[in-house]
Structure 1
């Protein structure tokens, strides 16, 4: 009997699951592969919506749940969560014995899984390496996981070159494009009336979709920036504003409190959601007039939908940005000006010319085919490039 290659995919947040969804579908449908799913992080937290239930509702079997998230978003709490994650993943990898562990991105849950896999000698395939986000410690985690991984799937050519620059051999680095864009070709889109019914609010115009995460390397409290954002939103009393909660990063709970307080003051035109799921989130993005905040979805998916993004602060600093992205400082005046620009006739007319910088929406199929054949080895050599100092 031919051995089915066991591909273990780890997901720790709703957003990351949305990016991995089509790869999970590809692997599960392949007769030569066996999908293993590990849910961890906010998926298992009532506070963040118990989103592991969405994974199961989508038809996937969760092979392991790694509890690691403490009810604290302080630096000490996050650090202890990483430690619990390493312990939990050690047990999980021992039990599941995957052939390849697939990790996406740069969150602390992923760092815990990568550390356990390194010691367990499980080869790691890392998705979305080589990117830069200078305002968050995600930057350091992403590059650390790159050095722990054997195989790399990047979203754009500059990122491929950066991974090679970090000493990863070119034959182990693949420019697959961003898997999140696969939704755009495969999603069952929800129209505006269905969204209004499901969300319990009339989606007036302009429609703002807002996601703001803590900037984890900033010395300032994230509440300061959130207050500036909310002050800017006050300048658009006619707008419908849909918030999605921040991730479980340092300071995230303080932001949730401010979001809920602002939404409660504007019940006729604002809603805040713990998690929308990728179908509702992307359908809402397609209907929105402006995407506001510092989420990577405003940098990757929104331009592919030719939607205007107002990108706040330094969290996404260093990422490739399409012409549809407007950078704004985290002051009410600058955010207000950026939103006005995004709503202007001239800017909206130019959105039709937006070019996606992160592929064309077939990343998951590419990644799956490569995972079928790559050697199952952990030993790798450092790749030196010629330097000029």
Structure 2
């Protein structure tokens, strides 16, 4: 048709727009508020949406749909309390798909205010049958301490690596390593969560790698349940008492106990026991917890069991060892009896003095080792 545009030309223009600019947003009806959908990335497992606004906005809803051949497979509506001016909000959706057929998928995104659309866009991706990337993520493990991933290079390249900790729809921690060199051997990367976690709560760890020569990113996710954790790194023991150095290994604050139990040589009868509160520990924190026996151990061999009791009363770590008390050790700190009745101290003062001296001797001996 002369002076016009053919249907084929219009179709080509639409395809070019949706392919080259999948995250451009359509702002709604001349409203003062402009919310931009800056970025979308999705796999069959999870979808990431990045929003920004030219002004502070409140009470929004983000509608995200996973579509396969015009059929909605999964959807999520995410309330957004506010977006501050010149700030970014990241939301993550975990898809709950019973099937993962190879082929083309579509993500449809809408930003709503009082059920009125103010921004929308679409994003397409292919699951399976993908072109071989420059790097492959061989595996990832997320836990209460952090996230670890193994990257295998196909070709030598530089990559940007982004680490995310997700609580529900919200990204509560983000860290990034830029221009990481990946050569001929697998590379192990690790990032610690520098934020506090709640005990027995489910989180999602996400690793996104973008090779320098590729537009698309590679994303892997791993769900974990956070738990407090601590371990015994050092032990000191003698006839007066014992101590254990405890190291935290989780971003869930450890607020538990250390239990010391002394058994006879056969490990049957309890001779001494003490349970001591531990200082609060996070990852890489360490503290020494000490216990003094009520009675000095006599000459002989004893079995010592030290246990770390977690926030929920579960046993996090245990260490067993032997206390070997020699005859000289049982006498060197004894206090001689007073012979003269007139000048002698009351017996309860002597007992207290003996306990104080024993505690001081234990601490000094512990620090000198």
Greater percentage in strand = 2
TM over 0.5: no
TM-score normalised by the shorter chain: which range applies? under 0.3
User: TM-score, with normalisation over the residues of structure 2?
Assistant: 0.22
User: TM-score, with normalisation over the residues of structure 1?
Assistant: 0.21
Q: State the structure with bigger RCO (CA 8 A, min sep 6), 1 or 2.
A: 1
